[in-house]
Amino acid sequence: MKKMIFVNLVSLIIITLILIQPVSSNISCSQNEIIIVDNEGDGDYQTIQQAIDNANSGDIIQIYSGIYNEKLIIQKERITLKGIDHELGAGTDTEYPIINGDQIGNVIEIYGKHCQITSCIIQNSGHGIFDAGIFILSNEVIISTNGIVSNQYGILVNNCTENIIENNYILSNTMDGIYLLFTEENIISNNIIRENGFQGMFMYEANKNTITENTFSLNGKDGIHLRNTCMNNEITKNIIHSNSIDGIKIMDSNVYYNNLNNNEIYSNGWNGVHIVNGQSNIISDNMIYLNLLNGIQIGNADNNRIIRNTIQDNKEEGIVFLFSGSQNNQIYYNNIINDNAFDGGKNIWDDGRDAGGNYWSYYKGLDVDGDGIGDTPYIIEGMGNMDNTPFIDPLYPPQTPSQPRGPTIGVPGTSYTYRTTSSDNLHNKIQYGWDWNGDDVVDEWTFFYSPEEPCETSYIWNQNGTYQIKVKAMDDQGFQSDWSQPLSITMPKDPKNKIDIIGNFIFNFCQQILYRIYAIIVADQQPNIAKY
């Protein structure tokens, strides 16, 4: 009877422990495996393809230093290839693993979703029309921190979406460093793409891609080339220099609605930016200088906007519209320094609101009324176009706002007010963009303030945590300042939910009882030394 009561008590406690486990606990029945590949036989496999063939979804294949003469095909999902830059056993290899294609076909083909390749050197694909170091034919693949050299194409992305190519060194491939073909919503970031035979990156029917913070240099043709239905691409914050032809080239009438902004484009063999037939693209906030032909050249292209760029010291002209077919392009709020312009079409060289055109360092007119705008137009060579409202002084963004001032500790759900101020060299009105969580993205723009007028903005955090808030200024011409210094805000943690507190108390209490019962059982089973 006592034994039955004891068993029932233990069972009750175990059931109680199970029931009061926190709902958020995740108990996984399976665990991803790490598979070791070493070409000298010190791992699970000597070849990478063997490891891939025997892997399950979610497994990580660690490839140790050495040369692997293989052609890899990945058809499973969620497979990770990760290079290790040292020898596993007694060998002397010390570099990241080299996956060598022996000049036959693609070195790596990826058909499975969510795969990753990182920290490998991928080289020597075949020389067929679409051979590549990495050929991606699936979605949400990540290619990160690799060296991709001496292939036909470095990386070819074909008929898929949402891939990430980041932090790679893509060098000396015969054709293009990266080829985006019938693809969209990819992110290409922080890569060094140089000395490829054709384009640094070629985009063909590629839409909604983000190309940011890359360096394109010393490529045999263009840094970036867009052709045949490329729409809504963001090309931003790249450094594009010393390419043999153009920094960025847009060709075909159905290449439109692309944004080229905040790039530094210089010392290219022909033009910094070259548009042929492209429509409704925006070229804004770029530094375009020292190109060996023109800063921007446009031919037979309509309805593009060129705004807030600094165009300086290009060998021929700052901006050129070659043919009469170029019409209704808008060019305003640019600084054109030691450069001129030519317009063979009919285009608009001011904002159309009498608020200003461009700053021309060669402008010789006067500003009698002191409003910052010249009293006579600036004549554009060509078909008699003119900038009707040239600026007297260069255009600059507002000053960086002061660090936000306000409470640094608070309670979730309560409104707090923060203050800042800025000024503008042309006395333009200023609006402020607030970043409330430190991700360098404006969460909220204010209305416009006068220069140096204090700005006050309130915000409510609904969750506990620590937040970095920043602010930037933008004037009514669209020039944006840098971010201010951040201010750290702390929302202390709320008291735990009462149910959680009670649950934890019961769990700990039952756990102690179970430990004591276990101790009694163990003690009861020990031999009684005193009897002997």
Question: Mean pLDDT over all residues of the chain?
Answer: 89
Paired residues of 61 in beta bridges: 35, 81
Whether residue 258 has pLDDT greater than 60 = yes
The SS3 call for residue 508 is helix
Whether residue 202 has pLDDT greater than 90 = yes
Residues 407-430: pLDDT tens digits? 999 999 999 999 999 999 878 899
Which helix H or strand E contains 14, and what residues bound it?
helix 2-19
Which helix H or strand E contains 517, and what residues bound it?
helix 498-525
pLDDT value, residue 426: 79
Whether residue 306 has pLDDT greater than 70 = yes
Residues 239-254: pLDDT tens digits? 999 999 999 999 988 9
395 vs 27, more confident: 395
pLDDT value, residue 93: 77
What token pair was written down for 406?
């306000």
Whether residue 29 has pLDDT greater than 60 = no
Distance from C-alpha of 95 to C-alpha of 66, rounded to nearest angstrom:
7
pLDDT value, residue 31: 72
Band (2; pLDDT cuts 50, 70, 90): very low
Band (510; pLDDT cuts 50, 70, 90): low
pLDDT value, residue 492: 85
Distance from C-alpha of 260 to C-alpha of 212, rounded to nearest angstrom:
10
374 vs 26, more confident: 374
- Which residues does 392 contact at the CB level (< 8 Å), separation at least 6? 359, 363, 367, 372, 373, 374
Residues 9-25: pLDDT tens digits? 444 444 444 444 444 33
Residues 50-97: pLDDT tens digits? 999 999 999 999 999 999 999 999 999 999 999 999 888 777 778 999
The SS3 call for residue 290 is coil
Residues 313-348: pLDDT tens digits? 999 999 999 988 899 999 999 999 999 999 999 999
Whether residue 524 has pLDDT greater than 70 = no
Whether residue 235 has pLDDT greater than 90 = yes
Band (516; pLDDT cuts 50, 70, 90): low
Whole-model pTM: value is: 0.85
Residues 482-503: pLDDT tens digits? 999 999 999 986 544 444 434 4
pLDDT value, residue 92: 76
The residue assigned the tokens 């004037």 is 475
